[in-house]
Amino acid sequence: MSKPRNALAKLGLSPSAYVGAVMLLVFVLAGLFGPLVAPYSPVEMILEQSFASPSVQHWLGTDQHGRDALSQLLHGARVALIISASVVFLCAFVGVVLGVISGYFGGIVDEIIMRVVDILMAFPGILLNIAIVATVARPGVGVLILALAINGWVGYARVARGQVLTLRERDYVMAAQCIGASSWLIMRRHIIPNLLSPIMVQMTFGFGSVILVEASLSFLGLGPQVDYTWGALLDQGTTFMWKPGYEYFAIIPGAAIMTVVLGANLLGDGLRDRFDPRHKGRES
């Protein structure tokens, strides 16, 4: 027991960060293995069992079509995990590459990339996502990932550029330039590894943001055209929100979304305090 405790202590994270990490871990495990252990199909309708109360057979009850609520929730976790992980990693990759190029080379390259960033940031993010998704008759997971990534990379680019403006003046970077190392080698070996900490923080916060935006689009009917995404489940649940005994249809997916977003924010705050102690000092 002492070794795991010592390992956790060396991470230097706050207790709330560990709580957030556990929340996210539960979500990831549900997304990876949930559909494998789901007791029923999320689309199988058994009308004679509609609106069944929670029981041994149906732990969270059934909806108006007799579909098992727990199975829908677990399959929805898989969709949410695929979308959020894909968007976060795609945005981080594009944003870091463009941000590093912009900050290192400067000049006209910096102007072009930053003006594109300014243009994308001028549009309200959710409205731009809606405009892109609405152009497709039946948007799927791929379309939603593309829509969220169109403007999702700009935050990573700004963070990466700001870090590079400082890192490129460091002695070890100048030394590499003096011995004739190429710009691409310097960026790959000396700059990118040293800006990964703030990017990891940005990715953690972005994870929760993507979950929230995806649920919002699905709630509006603009997400993947399946009935078991968390946003779609929340939309269906609001129909019966004020019907006595059926409030949990909206509470369950809402609580799942809240848990993931809260976990991402708690872990993100802990990582930010760990990698940037000055930020904790400014808040106190």
pLDDT digits (tens, 9 = 90+) for 39-84: 888 888 887 777 777 788 888 888 888 888 899 999 999 999 999 9
pLDDT of residue 266: 94
pLDDT digits (tens, 9 = 90+) for 73-110: 999 999 999 999 999 999 999 999 999 999 999 889 99
Q: Residue 278: is its pLDDT beyond 60?
A: no
Q: Residue 2: is its pLDDT beyond 60?
A: no
CB neighbours of 78 closer than 8 A, spacing ≥ 6?
31, 32, 34, 35
CA distances (Å), 8 to each of 1, 11, 194, in order? 11, 5, 23
**176 within 8 A of 184, measured Cβ to Cβ:** no
Domain coordinates in residue numbering, the chain = 17-45+58-283
pLDDT of residue 29: 95
Mean pLDDT (whole number) for 227-245: 83
Identify the architecture of domain 17-45+58-283 in CATH: Orthogonal Bundle (1.10)
pLDDT digits (tens, 9 = 90+) for 86-96: 999 999 999 99
pLDDT of residue 19: 94
pLDDT digits (tens, 9 = 90+) for 238-262: 887 777 767 778 888 999 999 999 9
Q: Residue 111: is its pLDDT beyond 60?
A: yes
Q: Residue 221: is its pLDDT beyond 80?
A: yes
pLDDT of residue 9: 59
pTM surpassing 0.75?
A: yes
Q: Residue 1: is its pLDDT beyond 60?
A: no
pLDDT of residue 281: 46
If you average pLDDT over every residue of the chain, what do you get?
86
pLDDT digits (tens, 9 = 90+) for 116-151: 999 998 888 888 888 888 888 788 889 999 999 999
Q: Residue 212: is its pLDDT beyond 70?
A: yes
pLDDT bucket at 284, cuts 50 / 70 / 90: very low
pLDDT bucket at 205, cuts 50 / 70 / 90: very high
